[in-house]
Structure 1
Amino acid sequence: MKRGEAVFQKTVVLVGAGNSHLVFVRRWRMRPVPGVAVIWINTQDTIPYSAMTPACLNGEAAREEITIDLVRLARSAGIRLVVGAAERIDPVERLVHVPDRPPLRFDVLSLNVGSVSRPLVDPVQWEGSIPLRPLGRLLDRCEAWIARLEKQPRPFHCVVVGGGASGCELSAALARRCEHLPRFRLTVVEAHERLLPRFPSWASARFTQRLSEAGVTVLTQCRVVGGSPGRLVLDDGQELECDAAIWATPGVAPPLLRNSGLPVDAEGFLRVHSTLQVEQFPHLFAAGDCITLLDHPELPHNGVYAVRQGPVLYDNILSYLQKRPLRSFRPQRRCLYLLNLSNGQAVGSYGRWTFSGRWVRRWKERIDRRWLMSFEPPASMAASAVPETEESPLMRCGGCGAKVPGHVLHKVLSRLEVPRDPRILLGLSEGEDAAVLQVVPDGPVHVQTVDYFRAFTDDPYLLGQGAAIHALSDLYAMNAVPLAALAIATLPFARGPIQEQMLHELLAGAQSIFTAEEVVLAGGHTTEGPELALGFALTGLAQPSALFRKNALQVGHNLVLTKPLGTGALWAAWMRSACPARHWRELVQHTLQSNRAAARIAAGLNLRACTDITGFGLAGHLLEMLDASRLSARLFIHRVPLLEGFEMAVRQGIVSTLHADNAKWECRIHGSAPLPSWLFDPQTCGGLLLAVPPDQTDDLLAQLRAAGYLHAAVIGQTIPLQGTAPHIELLAST
């Protein structure tokens, strides 16, 4: 890349993961625009597909089968995903405010946030009050009380408030799912004179018959006007006692729109032109259930139109950025609706035509699954998970997976002729995690370290947090108290405002960690480069007699690992769109867990042998301790904690690009073939490896787990040196 070439010129922010934005992201994956960065904000990292939610609730489909994984989808499209709720949009300053991070700047913003449910009984006061949206929470709540009823049967009355399409499908699904519960009752309340008031009467009659055959009570021309926990009040004064109420009533506009001062109609929905641009703000676009089309104000709020709006939204945002004419969205005159009867059949409606049967259910199944499959990452991305060769290099990992291999580093350091200085108590020759300087005689020593790596994530804020935690770990691994940090940042070539935004997020993420760890960010240096990178030079203080050392191992001590392994392979899987959201969620949580408390606990027990597990993996860093202490070690294979998803990634052939170099230590590992991959997996923000006497082990583990290191475990023990070189012995059982 030539110096001065602009990588990022414009930023598009998508708020919400409705159908229109799903179509936008899918199209962006096929045809991205150079120079344009896309940020996608959503409250969750997965979403259930609404059309298949009844099939999941009635037991026809598993939860994972109906779920769209936004982590994998966004990564496959080269789009940055931010999991959080947009609190406010400033259309003038062009900022989106998201909790716990700096505002995100945009050139163009699109809203596809849907509508929200309006329960008349606060779900916070009564867990039995279940809004229809978000669908994921609806499924969680229903599954929870169904599981309780299956374990401890008792009388249970569920009321579905609303007899539209959603209410009817959910009612039929619940009737099927709970038909084996003899004391379960279900009631549907609809304000109009029949179910499915917007559909042809034949479709209404078909659903009414289905619910009647299932023993469901249907109350029409009744409206719920209030209630309290366990009780709903109807407009005729009648009260319904119930154990759960599902609010399948028409959605209302989300408060975000009005709270942001955007132009809305009387009901709070965004006023949008046919080009899908928000009235008064041509750089704001919107689609789906959250809008009112000014040319078609009577258009109902439903996902059928949102799907058709997606291509128009994509084309118009690109046209706006490129200053080309925009096209208009024209809603279709007729819409196809397919509703699941949850008895092996479905009801279809297209204009005035209605039909039902098993063939309709099969048709719906094919359409729904084809839609879901369209958001799976392309097979070509999975193909990049093959082992690295000279002819076909992998995408290089970031984080500690981007370190120079250990054998290269050791060769270079051994060739340097660094003069001795009495003020340097520990330096290059000792191979510790940080240098130790005696600045003031007989006083505390200064402990200094530097850490710097390429981005392991596309989120600068998360990178700032992770880089700070990772750099601090070197000080904690030596029992030093961090004092000050200097930042070293490389920003990709881009326009000034985009670089400003990126640097702000980087340093704000780091500052959030430094504030919590009581460290002062004292300064730093920035430069431009082909890719984002960040590091820190840190200074801490310690008492010489209290330093943790790699050479302090003793025979017969237990080896305790404070955090699970697996970050190298999992971040590599994320790069290849192969890390599911549930694994990514745990990976991020692990990345943001500091070693500060673990170091303090170890210091309180007067432990002295410690290192942190980073780029050279468990084997590399343990061998450093063994070489320094002239001992060997025994590891218990089945006790080593691993991040969920690590083994799945390895089975797919996905490992960090540093893995092969780390595996060059395999000649010093005995007792298992093939060797476990976790031995060589480089860790970003890895845990501490501590040596502890047997009589203190239980106390250490109890304190670690109480401090939040829930996976802390004894993974081995030190043994006497056998032969001339320390080695690692693997045992399948203890």
Structure 2
Amino acid sequence: MIGLTPHKKDLRLIGGGHSHIAVIKKLGMRPIPGIRVTLISNNTLTPYSGMLPGLIAGHYTFEDCHIDLRKLCQWAGVQFVCSEVQRIDPVGRQIYCHQYPSLQYDLLSINVGSQPALTEIKNATVHGHPIKPIKQFLQNWRQWLESAQASRQPKRVVVVGGGAAGVEILLAMRYKLCNTTAIHANFTLVCADQKVLSAHNERVQEFIKNHLQTLGIRIIFGKHVISVTEHQLALSDNTTLNYDFSAWAIHSSAQSWLAESGLECDGQGFIQVDQHLRSISHPDIFAAGDSAAFMPLPLPKAGVYAVRQGPILAKNIVAQLENRQLLPFKPQRSFLSLITIGERYAIASRGALFARGKWVWVWKNHIDRAFMARFNPQPMVNTDNSSDAKESMRCGGCGAKVSSNILQNVLSQLDIQPHPDITSGPGDDAAIINIRANTRWLQSVDFFRSFIDDPYLLGRVAAIHSLGDIYAMGGIPHSALVTAIIPYSSEPIMQETLLHLMRGVLKTLKTENTALIGGHSGEGLEIAIGLTVNGTLSSSEALTKSGLTPGDSLILTKPIGSGVLLAANMTARCKGLWLDQALAYMLQSSLTAATILRSCAARSCTDVTGFGLLGHLQEMLLASQCSASLSINAIPIMEGAQQCSLQSIQSTLYAANKQASRCQDYTGQHPSYPLLFDPQTAGGLLAGIPAERTDECLHALSTAGYTSAQIGCVTPYNNTNSLITLIDH
């Protein structure tokens, strides 16, 4: 018998806004037994809007003002799905995402923010740059800066919107241009109201108006934009305004899919919620922040409300799951407003109060950095040994198979394509394969525990990893069998987990023209996946490990470092963007790389996986009775891998890989040296090719999108403990 902690319900969080990061932090500190929590966000990093003007002005780095959602979720034990939600079905309780399988929920919370209401202005969705999504705005601003640097002509910058966001963005952009670039620009603020910052007290309004005028910034009052072309705005009084860069900071609108999903929304498309932050039409859906319309009292779209709603939202989510009474959100009548004015100077207001100065900026900076620090938590260990955490005992052996009901439901939803070589039916006990004449059969197996909490991504990577052996031998993948282990949970959760895992596998297999011909599934403590893959080899010779010849160039088709990054992620010490890039490498097929290597007369090849770069190279050298010289500087390294390695983060296989190495005489201190023993998941191909084909091969690999390199050369056999010579200069 094996003790398991079953998941019974799914809590899904859509959007990484300020309210949801508070919920994730709360649930990380006090997990809800039996509840699987998932965050769905189209970005790994979520910006903190309060620091955006400082980022534009140059006071902060990009990292200073972005919260790493993947890292936070890893720390909190929350599943992270990086995808964009397209719609939800509140009746069927399904979430539909872009290029990702649908997700079922028992309880849902939405915190996706808002965006400028551009559809109200003709062509505004085509021309100009809305300040939200912030990621896109920053990218557009930086691209414009680069192009403007090359021109000596004065530029015209226009910000549309006289609220706090418009004023802060305008002053931040002006500070950036005047203090860190040679770009000369004229600035204009278009304000639909008769006053700038109309939601603030008169002292704030007067100060900002005078400050803008002192800086030579033109203010257009009482007019709004009715249409826009590539370089011109048309105003409501039939005048026009030319621009080179324009930013939209007008009133907010909701994302269209909210209302299109059938939720009760207000006139602007925001989800109507009651005093408990719960949808008035669907009580199993919560909404907070800018995506919600708080029905008891109209609230401005201000980040302070999203932040303050977070703790109440977290408590109410837990209360609803535990069938307890919900708490009302009680918004404060007034709140502290801190506005930066480009330089390290800020104003503060609350109600009729007003203050300004450099000390206000220091105060705001302290508040903002303290807020960010709250969501960069240190790794913690869950020591819950309560009886609730060990609800049931589950059998081993064949008693641990996934139920036929779950299995049949999953299979019925998979698009498994037939293959002309397979003559058996889908329900037969074994696959019947007709091997074509003059064809040799390749077969390999791989199996590993889950390294990421997203079963769909895991399935895709597992298939890429397993097919690497076939490509390394110069073969063509033919078919595959899958072994899947799923944690015991409620039937709907187990079914969805298996479905996503298998859809991930099929996504890769279809792309690689490989048939799924069977498999086995069972229960376990955690997700695990294995594939037995079959391949064919034509009359040409296989690329074995024994074909290296002295003088050959050693070509590596992917960077190394995935092992240390995955180890860092397990303890929430890997930046989300580092893991995103590592996953992108893992998802890169070796099909084209293998074809290129073969066309460049590769003599020997292997895929770099569990034994690390040196371990797999050593296998090739021993089989070929050769030695090798390796340039450490030439080896491509995944971003973040060196940083993690220097923090003494290592994969569990690192020590054994290093001990087995035959380059023990190396005494250097190169920062990439430990990564030579790092086990790789879905790593690249390592091949020996004739030296005269090196440039041709690298050019072809680069054109095909591979981050490849010549990392060394094969030398005559040296039968000592220094089979591999490392050069670190």
Q: What TM-score does the superposition give when structure 2 sets the normalisation length? A: 0.89
Counterpart of 2:251 in 1: which secondary structure? Answer: coil
Give the alignment of 1:532-551 within 5 angstroms: 532-543=527-538, 545-551=540-546
In 2, the alpha carbon distance for the partners of 1:497 and 1:8 equals 10
Give the alignment of 1:557-576 within 5 angstroms: 557-576=552-571
Give the alignment of 1:499-518 within 5 angstroms: 499-518=494-513
Counterpart of 2:4 in 1: which secondary structure? Answer: coil
Partner of 1:334: 334
Q: CA deviation at 1:253?
A: 1.4
Give the alignment of 1:296-375 within 5 angstroms: 296=297, 298-375=298-375
| Counterparts in 2 of 1:554 and 1:162: CA distance versus 1, 3 Å | same
- Would the aligned equivalents of 2:270 and 2:293 in 1 still touch at CA under 8 Å? yes
Q: Greater CA deviation, 48-57 or 661-670?
A: 661-670
Q: Greater CA deviation, 464-473 or 75-84?
A: 75-84
Give the alignment of 1:611-690 within 5 angstroms: 611-674=606-669, 676-690=673-687
Counterpart of 2:87, as a letter, is R
Q: CA deviation at 1:608?
A: 3.0
Q: CA deviation at 1:456?
A: 0.9
| Counterparts in 2 of 1:170 and 1:631: CA distance versus 1, 3 Å | same
In 1, the alpha carbon distance for the partners of 2:557 and 2:344 equals 51
Counterpart of 1:208, as a letter, is K
Give the alignment of 1:260-279 within 5 angstroms: 260-279=261-280
Give the alignment of 1:574-613 within 5 angstroms: 574-613=569-608
In 2, the alpha carbon distance for the partners of 1:645 and 1:21 equals 27
- Would the aligned equivalents of 1:546 and 1:608 in 2 still touch at CA under 8 Å? no
1:482 to 474, 477, 490: 477
Partner of 1:492: 487
Give the RMSD, CA atoms, in angstroms: 1.9
Partner of 1:235: 236
In 2, the alpha carbon distance for the partners of 1:646 and 1:123 equals 42
Partner of 1:36: 35
Counterpart of 1:166, as a letter, is A
Partner of 1:19: 18
In 2, the alpha carbon distance for the partners of 1:441 and 1:140 equals 53
2:712 to 700, 716, 719: 716
Give the alignment of 1:90-109 within 5 angstroms: 90-109=89-108
Give the alignment of 1:183-198 within 5 angstroms: 183-198=184-199
Counterpart of 1:282 in 2: which secondary structure? Answer: coil
Counterpart of 1:271, as a letter, is Q
Give the alignment of 1:700-711 within 5 angstroms: 700-709=697-706, 711=707
Counterpart of 2:92 in 1: which secondary structure? Answer: coil
How far does the alpha carbon of each residue in 1:305-327 deviate from its partner, in whole angstroms, 9 at most, with x for none? Answer: 11111111111111111111111
Partner of 1:168: 167
- Would the aligned equivalents of 1:38 and 1:80 in 2 still touch at CA under 8 Å? yes
- Would the aligned equivalents of 2:379 and 2:573 in 1 still touch at CA under 8 Å? no
Q: Greater CA deviation, 438-447 or 520-529?
A: 438-447
Q: CA deviation at 1:442?
A: 6.9
- Would the aligned equivalents of 2:47 and 2:67 in 1 still touch at CA under 8 Å? yes
Counterpart of 1:167, as a letter, is G
Counterpart of 2:252 in 1: which secondary structure? Answer: coil
Q: CA deviation at 1:679?
A: 1.6
Counterpart of 1:187 in 2: which secondary structure? Answer: strand
Counterpart of 1:70, as a letter, is L
- The reply on whether 1:529 has 2:528 as its aligned counterpart is no
How far does the alpha carbon of each residue in 1:152-185 deviate from its partner, in whole angstroms, 9 at most, with x for none? Answer: 3322111110100101111221222222556301
Counterpart of 1:547 in 2: which secondary structure? Answer: coil
Q: CA deviation at 1:477?
A: 0.8
Q: What TM-score does the superposition give when structure 1 sets the normalisation length? A: 0.89
In 1, the alpha carbon distance for the partners of 2:664 and 2:695 equals 28
Q: CA deviation at 1:674?
A: 4.8
Counterpart of 1:74 in 2: which secondary structure? Answer: helix
- Would the aligned equivalents of 2:190 and 2:223 in 1 still touch at CA under 8 Å? yes
Partner of 1:427: none
- Would the aligned equivalents of 2:149 and 2:183 in 1 still touch at CA under 8 Å? no
- The reply on whether 1:520 has 2:515 as its aligned counterpart is yes
Partner of 2:696: 699
- Would the aligned equivalents of 1:118 and 1:131 in 2 still touch at CA under 8 Å? no
Q: CA deviation at 1:333?
A: 1.6
- The reply on whether 1:199 has 2:200 as its aligned counterpart is yes
In 1, the alpha carbon distance for the partners of 2:51 and 2:722 equals 58
| Counterparts in 2 of 1:191 and 1:443: CA distance versus 1, 3 Å | same
- Would the aligned equivalents of 1:627 and 1:726 in 2 still touch at CA under 8 Å? no
Partner of 2:467: 472
How far does the alpha carbon of each residue in 1:632-661 deviate from its partner, in whole angstroms, 9 at most, with x for none? Answer: 111112111111111101111111111011
Q: Structure 1: 5+ residue runs without aligned partners?
A: 382-437
- Would the aligned equivalents of 1:669 and 1:728 in 2 still touch at CA under 8 Å? no
- Would the aligned equivalents of 1:164 and 1:197 in 2 still touch at CA under 8 Å? yes
- Would the aligned equivalents of 2:57 and 2:343 in 1 still touch at CA under 8 Å? no
- Kindly tell me the number of residue pairs found equivalent between the two proteins: 672
- Would the aligned equivalents of 1:618 and 1:679 in 2 still touch at CA under 8 Å? yes
Q: CA deviation at 1:123?
A: 6.6
How far does the alpha carbon of each residue in 1:220-251 deviate from its partner, in whole angstroms, 9 at most, with x for none? Answer: 11111112110101110000011111110011
Counterpart of 1:278 in 2: which secondary structure? Answer: coil
Q: CA deviation at 1:29?
A: 1.9
In 1, the alpha carbon distance for the partners of 2:569 and 2:435 equals 47
In 1, the alpha carbon distance for the partners of 2:524 and 2:217 equals 65
Q: Structure 2: 5+ residue runs without aligned partners?
A: 382-432
| Counterparts in 2 of 1:121 and 1:560: CA distance versus 1, 3 Å | farther
How far does the alpha carbon of each residue in 1:102-139 deviate from its partner, in whole angstroms, 9 at most, with x for none? Answer: 1011111100111112333647744xx10010112222
> Identity across aligned pairs (percent)?
36
In 2, the alpha carbon distance for the partners of 1:607 and 1:22 equals 50
| Counterparts in 2 of 1:622 and 1:227: CA distance versus 1, 3 Å | same
In 1, the alpha carbon distance for the partners of 2:116 and 2:268 equals 14
Counterpart of 1:715, as a letter, is I
Counterpart of 2:144 in 1: which secondary structure? Answer: helix
Give the alignment of 1:340-489 within 5 angstroms: 340-378=340-378, 443-489=438-484
